[in-house]
Amino acid sequence: MKYKGYEAVVEFDDEAEIFHGEVINLRDVITFQSDNAKELKQAFHDSVDDYLEFCKERGEEPEKPFSGKLMLRINPELHKTIAIKAKKEGQSINSWIEKCLFIYAS
């Protein structure tokens, strides 16, 4: 499910007989639930809207779904190897890693 750039996953709890979902593309926690599929989408929208309103009331910027910045710590030897491979291909380290991740994730 997607709404205003936020993406959620939903599971069904067989014992409680409810659907429950969570926004997955940010660190803040946004959850929602419904006992039927028809109202689940509205519950998701309402939770996102409530989150955005809460941030506004507090004077805070809501967390944006994934900024595109990824902090990564790796072994220095691997860093060196990547830098050399990227240089040989005429790319920045970021571009080279992005290309590799894209290939791997596809």
DSSP assignment of 27-80: SS--EEEESSHHHHHHHHHHHHHHHHHHHHHHT-PPPPS--S-------HHHHH
Any domain includes 70: no
Tens digit of each residue's pLDDT (9 = 90 or more) over 23-72: 998 888 999 999 998 899 999 999 999 999 999 999 999 988 777 778 88
Which CATH number belongs to the domain containing residue 14 in this structure?
3.30.160
Mark whether 9 and 51 lie in a shared domain. yes
Tokens of 37: 């599929």
Q: Residue 31 belongs to what domain range?
A: 2-58
Q: Is 87 helix (H, G, I), strand (E, B) or coil?
A: helix
Any domain includes 28: yes
C-beta separation of 30 from 48 below 8 A: yes
Say how many domains are in the chain.
2
Overall pTM surpassing 0.75 (yes/no): no
Mark whether 52 and 90 lie in a shared domain. no
- Work out the mean pLDDT of the chain and round it to a whole number: 92
Give backbone dihedrals phi and psi of 31, rounded to 5 degrees, phi first: -125, 165
The pLDDT assigned to 64 comes to 81
